[in-house]
Structure 1
Amino acid sequence: MHAAFTETQEMFRAAVRDLLADRRPPAAVRAAREDGTGRVPGLWEALAEMGVLGALVPEELGGLGADEIDVVGVLEEAGYAACGEPLAEHAVVALPAVAAAVTSGDVAELADLVTGAVAGRVTLTARVPPAGRFVAHATVADHLVLDVDGVLVLVAAEEAAPVPEPSLDPGRHLGAVAVDPGAGVALRGADPSRAAERGVLAAAAQAVGVARRLLDDTVAYVSERRQFGKPVGSYQAVKHHLADVRLGIEFAAPLVYRAAWSVAHRDPEAGRDVSAAKAAASDAVDLACRMALQCHGAIGYTAEYDLHLWLERGWTLAADWGDARWHRRRVAAHLGL
C-alpha cells in the first residue's frame, strides 16, 4: 500500500478546490439555497467539464475510469466548500451503479443516460442502506437509484414522485418516496453493498472537509476577536478546544483515506474500513461543530452568520449514511466483539 497521494491526485483535488472557492463562496451558497435549487449557476457544468461527475465511470462510457482514491480528496474539498450540488450521490453512488449495470450488459439501453449524466445533463441521486429513509436531492434530481429488497433500481423522478421533507440542512432537498413493486429498471449488474460502501465513504470524506473548514474559520475568528485586551484565541481554554478538534480531524482523515483504498481495491474488509472511517469522521465533525459554535460565542447562534452553513452541513453529515454509534457497532461485529 502506497500511503501517499500521487501528484495527479493532488492536482485533481487542487483544481476542484480552486473551482469551488471561486464559484461557491458563502454568498453563493446562500443564494443557491434561497432560489430552491441548491445549485450555483454553471458550477455543475464546470464539474462535468473537469471530469468530476464521471470520475468513477469507465472510459468507454465517457468517464475518467478513476477510483475512490482519486476522488476522496475531491469529496473532502466538497465538504470544505459546503457544496450543495449532489456530487456524492450522483458521481460516487448512483452513476457508478448505473454504469456497472450497463457494462455488465444487463441494461445496455441505459448507456445514453450514463453519457448524459457524465456530461451533467442528467442529475442522479441515490438511497442505499444505511442511508436514511428519505432521499437526498430527490426533489431536484431527474432519476433516483434506490435499494428495493436488495436490488438497485433506477426510477425516474416523475415515477418516484418525491414529497419534500424538512431537513436541518435545507441544501439537502430531502424527499420521501414510495416505489411500487416492479417500478423502474432493475440494475442487476450493480452491487448494492459496493454502492453502500461508496456512500458511507463519501459522507465521511465530506465530514472531514466540513470539520477542517470549521476549524480554519474558528482559528481565524479567535485570532481577531479581542477580549480583555488580547485575542480570545490566546487563552488556554480556547486553545485546548481547538486542539481537540485538530486531533479529531487528524485521527479521522487517515481512516477515510484507508477506506478509500479498501473500496478501490475491493478489499474483503472494506465494509469494516468504511465504518471505522465514518465513525471517526462523524465524531470529528460533531466536535468541530460544537467547538466552533462555542468559540464564536453569541454571533455563532446568528443564522445570518456564515458559520451556520457549515454547522448545518456538518451535523447532517454526522448522521447521514449511519451515525458514529451505528458504525462502531458494525466495526465491532466485523471484529467478532
Structure 2
Amino acid sequence: MRFALTEDQAALRDAVRAPLAAADWDALAGMGVFAAMTDLGLDETDLVPVLEEVGAAAVALPVTATAFVAAPLLLALGDDRAAAGSLRVAVAGPGGLTPFGAHAGLVLHLDGDAVRAGAATAPASTVDTSLDAVVSTPGEVLTDDPALVAAAAARAALGHAAELVGLGRRMLDLTVGYVRQRHQFGAPVGSFQAVKHQLADAYLGLEFARPAVLAAAWALREGAEAGAGVDGAVVLAAEAAHAASRTAIQCHGAIGYTVEYELHRYAKRAWALAALATPGDRLDALAATIGLQERS
C-alpha cells in the first residue's frame, strides 16, 4: 500500500503555512481548520499533513490539541466550541505537564479509562519556554466511553508524531540552507562528504517516519486496531526528529550551539514534544507485543 497525499490534502497543507507562520488563530478558524474533523467531514489522514506544518512552524498555539483531539471529542459530547475555534484546548501530558495550558480555556486529561477536565495548579518550566506550560490536575469526568477515550488518546499521540516529523523537516531545511552558504577551505561545507552523509541519514529517518504516521492515521480513520501503529509512528518520529536536531546542531558548527539562533526554536520544541509523547514507554509496548522483554 502506498501512503501519499491527495491533491486536496496537499492544497490544505500548503494553505495553512501562512497563518501558522503568523500564529493567526482567527485565520486558521476562518479556514475551517478546527472544524475539519467535524463540520467539514475530513478525517485523520487529511489533518496529518496540516499537523506537520504546525510542527514546522513551531507555532505557540494549541492547534493540534484543539483541532485534532478536542474538536471531534467535544462535538461528540454536544460541545462545538472547539470546532468553532472559540475555545482553545490543551492536552495534559505525563505528570499533568500541559503545553499551552497557560492560555487554554480547557485542559483535557486522557490518562486511564476516562477523559477528564483539568485545572491548572502552577506554571511549569520546560526546555521550550514558548510552550507556556502549566501543571494540571484532573477533575470532572467528561466521558468514560471507551471508544471516545481511545480515539482521543490515539489522536493526541499521533498529533505529537506528525508535529515531530514537521519539526525534523524544518531543522533539515535550515541546515541545508546553511551548509550551502557556509564556506571552509574554499568550498561550501555542504560539499563535504561527512556533512552530506549526516544530512542524508537524518533525511532518511524522516522519510521512514512520515508514511508510518500516515499509515497510523489511515488505521484510525478505518476504525482498525491502531495501538501498535500509533506507538510505532511515535517512536519513529521521535527518533527521526532527535537525529535531525543532533545533525542540524553539529552541521551548523559553533552557531548551532547558540541558544538565540533560530535553530534552537525548533530543536527545543522537538525535545519537549518527544518527551511528552513517551516514546520509551511506547517502545516497551511494541516489544511486549512481539514477546521481547522490557528495557531494564
Shorter-normalised TM range = over 0.9
Give SS of 1:93's match: helix
Residue of structure 2 aligned with 1:280, choices 236, 239, 248:
236
Residue of structure 1 aligned with 2:189, choices 232, 256, 261:
232
After TM superposition, the structure 1 = structure 2 runs for residues 116-265 of structure 1, keeping only pairs within 5 Å, are: 116-127=81-92, 131-147=94-110, 149-155=112-118, 160-179=119-138, 183-184=139-140, 186-189=142-145, 191-265=148-222
RMSD: 1.8
Q: Would the alpha carbon gap of residues 319 and 185 (structure 1) be closer, same or farther in structure 2, given more than 3 Å must change?
A: closer
2:133 maps to amino acid: L
Is the 8 Å Cα contact of residues 101 and 188 (structure 1) preserved in structure 2?
A: no
Structure 1 counterpart of 2:61 = 85
In the TM superposition, residue 50 of structure 1 has moved relative to its aligned partner by: 0.8
TM-score normalised by L of structure 2: 0.92
Structure 1, residues 121-148: CA drift from partner, whole Å, max 9, x if none? 22111226xx453122111101112236
Instruction: For 2:128 and 2:102, locate their aligned partners in 1 and report how far apart those are by CA, in whole Å.
Output: 14
Is the 8 Å Cα contact of residues 94 and 144 (structure 1) preserved in structure 2?
A: no
Structure 1, residues 246-298: CA drift from partner, whole Å, max 9, x if none? 11111111111101101111112x01001111111101000000110011111
Give SS of 1:191's match: helix
Structure 1, residues 133-181: CA drift from partner, whole Å, max 9, x if none? 31221111011122365211235xxxx13310100111222211234xx
Structure 1 counterpart of 2:253 = 297
Quote the sequence identity (%): 42
Is the 8 Å Cα contact of residues 276 and 327 (structure 1) preserved in structure 2?
A: yes
Unaligned runs of 5+ in 2: none
Q: Would the alpha carbon gap of residues 133 and 122 (structure 1) be closer, same or farther in structure 2, given more than 3 Å must change?
A: closer
TM-score normalised by L of structure 1: 0.81
Give SS of 2:248's match: helix
2:191 maps to amino acid: S
1:126 maps to amino acid: V
Give SS of 1:206's match: helix
In the TM superposition, residue 303 of structure 1 has moved relative to its aligned partner by: 1.7
Is the 8 Å Cα contact of residues 97 and 136 (structure 2) preserved in structure 1?
A: yes
After TM superposition, the structure 1 = structure 2 runs for residues 35-74 of structure 1, keeping only pairs within 5 Å, are: 40=23, 43-57=24-38, 59=39, 64-74=40-50
Q: How many residue pairs are counted as aligned between the two chains?
A: 291
2:173 maps to amino acid: D
Is the 8 Å Cα contact of residues 92 and 99 (structure 2) preserved in structure 1?
A: yes
In the TM superposition, residue 16 of structure 1 has moved relative to its aligned partner by: 1.0
Instruction: For 1:154 and 1:171, locate their aligned partners in 2 and report how far apart those are by CA, in whole Å.
Output: 23
Structure 1, residues 36-78: CA drift from partner, whole Å, max 9, x if none? xxxx4xx001111111112222x2xxxx221100100000011
After TM superposition, the structure 1 = structure 2 runs for residues 310-321 of structure 1, keeping only pairs within 5 Å, are: 310-321=266-277
Q: Does 1:329 align with 2:292?
A: no
In the TM superposition, residue 307 of structure 1 has moved relative to its aligned partner by: 0.9
Give SS of 2:64's match: helix
Is the 8 Å Cα contact of residues 132 and 321 (structure 1) preserved in structure 2?
A: no
Instruction: For 2:152 and 2:144, locate their aligned partners in 1 and report how far apart those are by CA, in whole Å.
Output: 13
Give SS of 2:102's match: coil
After TM superposition, the structure 1 = structure 2 runs for residues 13-32 of structure 1, keeping only pairs within 5 Å, are: 13-21=13-21, 23=22
Structure 1, residues 306-325: CA drift from partner, whole Å, max 9, x if none? 111111111112222212x3
Give SS of 1:161's match: strand
